[in-house]
Amino acid sequence: MQKLIEARDVYTNFFTFEGVVKALNGVSIIVNQGETYGLVGESGCGKSVTVRSIMRIVQSPGRIVGGKILLFLSREDKGQGIDILKRSEAYMESIRGNDISMIFQEASTSLNPVLSIGYQVAESFLLHRLDEMLKETIDTLKAEIESGKLFITGWWKKFQGLLFKAELKGLERYTDMVAGIDRRLYELEDSTDKISIDERNHLNRKRDRLKKTVFVVQCVRHLPFIKHYGKKLHKTIRIHVIDLLKELGVPNPQNVPDMYPHELSGGMQQRIVIAIALACHPKLLIADEPTSNLDVTIQAQIIDLIKNLKSTSIASVLFITHDLGLVAEMCDRVTVMYAGDACETAAVKDLFKEPLHPYTKGLLRSVPKLKAQKELESIPGTVPNLIHPPSGCRFHPRCPHAKDICSEDKPPLTEHSEGHFIACYLYT
């Protein structure tokens, strides 16, 4: 299977006033192309921090302090991957939104309350699929000019033609330059001598600058004499927005673009957030508890939607949840996390049939099931404070099988059977 993204032994800390929160304790996950990958665990175990680390959007005072995050996109070397922790912010920005999109639990916080829905979805189109939209606009304009629908005098026609050409060329050059920088950066990635580090910093700065220039160019477009063409562009985008909303099952998609977030219910807001995330055709959609605040019937709608999209327009999904039921329903493979440790990774079927890690076993036994049970089994004790996490295996104070070694060293992640990884001394 093709790897898409890999987190290798990632450590993330939060340097807070009370002390250092050791939120991630060497987490490794691999998301392959075309799969739905689950990340499950109780509140505070580090699910969100893991995906935020992957996207490099850990909030301050948090910092990734160790490990690698490798991205395997088709553009560059697929075998080794690119370590995004070594790349510039501009590079990350082009990845976020272009290749990876993220949706969060609280749909309302991802939407701007004072902007219309149409504007917010359109913005995402403008940001990530500008060249496609431009081309389409030019085509429709051309068609209109040729069919004589649009009355345009000779010089104006010529002028606009030149403008379009210049813009397209500029875009092409920009992409080429960025690609060149990326290639060079990639070559330099693992070299540690001073000269190459300097060059890397220089290239990163250059990329940032280019990004800024493009932004300025985009602002220029709003000058009055280019406006006619801008209007057309908006029309093109609006058609796409409505199409997308229709595809996502938003009732009366013609009117929704003119509404504001507060006029929509939670489920509908989450659909809009998904629309924004999908506007750029991402290779990976990261969904951080997208349905935890919704009712079961609405949750069923959203899950159904994500499943359908998975089979049509998105390649892979990284799905974060605390609900084992949703994992069973949605995911192909899953990692169980506990207090910043990735305890067990397996195919969903294997995990539910034969959980191996003591924490996974406890977790599975403590969920109420459809079959009648007399008493639920529970895991004694509570989740530890991550400022002073337990030594060795972080689960050892609650583990019924803890041995001496468990409190001394962190158990390594080992492959028990094909594709089934466990970090526990019972299996080494």
CA pair distance 279, 274, nearest whole angstrom: 9
Each residue 234-263 as x (binds other proteins by CB under 8 A) or -, in order, gives -----------------x------------
Nearer of residues 152 and 364 to other proteins, judged by Cβ:
364
49 binds, among ligand ATP, ligand SF4, Mg ion, none (CB under 5 to 8 A by kind): ligand ATP
Answer with the entry of ligand ATP, ligand SF4, other proteins, none that 411 interacts with (C-beta below 5 to 8 A by kind).
ligand SF4
Kindly state whether residue 399 participates in binding other proteins, applying the rule CB under 8 A.
Answer: no
Q: How many whole angstroms separate alpha carbon 420 and alpha carbon 425?
A: 15
**Does residue 311 touch other proteins according to CB under 8 A?**
no
Residue 164 and residue 138 in contact, taking contact as beta carbons nearer than 8 Å: yes
> Which stretches of the chain bind ligand SF4, using CB under 6 A?
357-358, 393, 395-396, 399, 401-403, 406, 411, 424-426
**Helices 227-247 and 130-146, interaxial angle, to 10°?**
120
d(CA 391, CA 408): 6
Residues of the shown chain interacting with ligand ATP in the complex, contacts defined by CB under 6 A: 14, 16, 21, 23, 41, 43-49, 59, 62, 322, 386
Among 74, 147, 192, 382, binds other proteins (CB under 8 A): 382
Least Å from the CB of residue 417 to other proteins: 17
If you write DSSP's letter for every residue of 24-49 in order, what string do you get?
Answer: EEEEEEEEETT-EEEEE-STTSSHHH
Residue closest to 248 by CA, chosen among 208, 278, 224: 278
Pairing of strands 100-103, 284-288: parallel
**Interface pick for other proteins out of 362, 390, 392, 411 (rule CB under 8 A):** 362
Shortest Å, Cβ 187 to other proteins: 44
State whether the Cα torsion 249-251-256-257 is positive or negative: positive
Helix (H) or strand (E) holding 4: strand 3-15
**Contacting residues toward other proteins, per CB under 8 A:** 42-43, 251, 265, 267-268, 295-301, 303-304, 322-329, 348-349, 352-353, 362-370, 372-373, 375-380, 382-383
